[in-house]
Structure 1
Amino acid sequence: MITAQTRISEVLQQHPELLPVLISASPAFEKLKNPMLRKVMPKLVTVQQAAGMAGLPVDDLLGKLLAALGHDASESQGVSVSGSLLGTPAPVWVDAVVAAELDVQPLLQRGEEPFSQIQKVAAAVPAGQKFLLLAPFEPVPLYQALGKKGFAAWCEHAGEFFRVHFYRGAAVQGFPEQEKPSSGSPANWTFNLEVTIPETLEPPEPMMRVLGALDQLQPGQALLVHHVRRPIYLLQRLEEMGHQVEVMEEGPRVEILIQKKPPQTSGSGTA
């Protein structure tokens, strides 16, 4: 069943016949006609976030998708849209110094994942300054991802694209230590198990393969992952699970060292 939290990539993978339904729902989805953009954009957003990007009530978009599949549209009621910053008042920091500007449209048109480049730009932004991101759609998932790094965000429509302002607060000194590349070479990392993610593997298989390998390890043991890109959702999932992570980007490949979370010890026993 499609829900507000289903990713657009999953919707189109399971029901490719829904592409015309999405496109007809809003001009914002016209870009999905581009096969290259269709490979990247849907992987980043859920149905709820897509509705926010298009300025649609999520009930309406879910209703159209469910109705096209022969389901009762009333099953989609009761979910509110959140995440979009379009139409919100400009923040007080909107005139802050622009440290950098990144246009990800060429990357997306080539079917490349832009998050690694976004992270590099964001990491270099000094406290009290901002960077501008130009994109063909509102990158709602980035608000939460960069928000964890101390960035506030604001988005505006700029003709054919979206201009997103990411401001680093003065209290933020840098990314958490586990997000920084290791000071040592991956050749010196010690690990108990090794996994290679081939470029041809489609989501969510890479994440499932890594989590499956972690299940084979004892707490405190380490897994080395050879990846073809920086897996934003996998890294978020590992953080939520409490594992320690080191990331090293070397040319076209990304090396990830994951130390499995130690078992929790209870403070006191029970009789």
Structure 2
Amino acid sequence: MATADITLLDAWIAREDMFDAFLAYNHAFKEFNRVLRGEEIAATLTLGDVAVMVHSPVEDLVAIANGSDPEPAPTLRMQGDEERPAWMDGIDLTGAVTVATRPIFESGHEPLEVILAAVNGAGPDDLILVEAPFCPTPLRRLLATRGYESCAEELASSHWRCTFRPA
């Protein structure tokens, strides 16, 4: 019986058509299909983590993993901050842990594993910068559950910088 704490990989092993069921439930899964199907990522993320990333009730994902098919969820638009938070004023980005995801995407890979490794290797006061071709809203949601606050800024077309700091 799946719970919110089960890894995505274990849930997937228990229900082979789970990704198809997730996609039928929430079209946001189309954006995550490639990254979530990676065995190393699937082994590190729980259903609770995935629920946060796609902004869906964890109970629904657990129900899907257990063979149910809840009502489809609305797909939410991913966006940056409307206002720059005050903590960003005068922040020194020198020495921040930086992950440039654009080259990773361009090479046909998903950067989540690299980002999570950078987060896990960062010190307790380190800032983390993620340069991305889009606003990384799901990543922001995920890292918020791990104690980070963030600010996403669109620097140019297809160029976002997301700054994370321990809350």
**Same structural fold, with TM-score higher than 0.5 when normalized by the shorter chain:** yes
Task: Note the alpha carbon deviations across 1:107-130, whole angstroms, 9 max, x for none.
Answer: 89168942444455x34x9x6x73
- Report the Cα distance in structure 1 between the residues aligned to 2:101 and 2:13, rounded to whole angstroms: 24
What is the identity percentage for the equivalent residue pairs of Structure 1 and Structure 2?
A: 19
Secondary structure class of the residue paired with 2:41: helix
In structure 2, distance between residues paired with 1:66 and 1:19: 13
Report which structure shows greater RCO (CA 8 Å, sep ≥6).
Answer: 2
Task: Indicate conservation of the 8 Å contact 1:28/1:53, yes or no.
Answer: no
- Taking the TM superposition and a 5 Å limit, the aligned residue runs for 1:175-190 are none
**What SS does structure 2 have at the residue aligned with 1:5?**
coil
Q: In 1, Cα distance between the equivalents of 2:24 and 2:151? A: 24
The CA deviation string for residues 122-147 of structure 1, in whole angstroms up to 9 with x for no partner, is 34x9x6x7331246642626853xx5
Residues 90 and 154 in structure 1, CA contact (< 8 A), matched pair in contact too: no
Question: What is the alpha-carbon distance in structure 1 between the residues aligned to residue 130 and residue 54 of structure 2?
Answer: 19
- TM-score normalised according to structure 2 size: 0.58
Report the CA distance shift for 1:37/1:132 in structure 2 as closer, same or farther (over 3 A).
same
Q: 1:116 to 1:66 in 2, by over 3 A?
A: closer
Which residue, 82, 85, 88 being the options, matches 1:94? 88
User: What is the match of residue 49 of structure 1?
Assistant: 49
Partners in 1 of 2:30 and 2:109 — Cα distance?
14
Q: In 2 relative to 1, CA 138–62 (structure 1 residues): closer, same or farther, beyond 3 Å?
A: same
* Cα distance in 2, alignment partners of residues 38 and 52 from structure 1: 17
Q: Is the 8 A contact 1:103 1:134 kept in 2?
A: yes
Q: Is the 8 A contact 2:41 2:112 kept in 1?
A: no
Indicate conservation of the 8 Å contact 2:128/2:165, yes or no: yes
- C-alpha distance in 2 between matches for 1:59 and 1:24: 16
CA distance 1:48–1:133, change in 2 (3 Å): same
CA contact (8 A) 1:6 1:46 kept: yes
**Superposed CA RMSD:** 4.2
Q: Paired residue for 2:128, among 121, 131, 142? A: 131
- Kindly indicate whether the alpha-carbon contact (under 8 Å) linking 2:7 and 2:43 is maintained by their aligned counterparts in 1: yes
Q: Distance in 2 between matches of 1:33 and 1:102?
A: 21
* Total equivalences in the alignment: 143
CA gap 1:113/1:5 in 2 versus in 1, 3 angstroms: same
1:50 & 1:161 partners in 2: Cα distance? 24
After TM superposition, list the pairs within 5 Å mapping 1:97-112 onto structure 2. Answer: 97-99=92-94, 100=96, 101-104=98-101, 106=104, 109=109
Partner Cα separation in structure 1 for residue 22 and residue 44 of structure 2 = 16
Which residues of 2 match residues 115-264 of structure 1 at below 5 A?
A: 115-118=116-119, 122-123=122-123, 130-134=127-131, 137-138=138-139, 140=142, 144=146, 147=147, 152-154=148-150, 156=152, 164-167=162-165
Secondary structure at 2:165's aligned position in 1? Answer: strand
Supply the distance in 1 between the matched residues of 2:165 and 2:12 (Cα, whole angstroms).
34
CA contact (8 A) 1:45 1:141 kept: no
1:165 is displaced (CA, Å) by 2.3
Q: Find the counterpart in structure 2 of residue 38 from structure 1.
A: 37
Look up the match of 2:65.
65
Q: Return the offset for 1:29.
A: 1.7
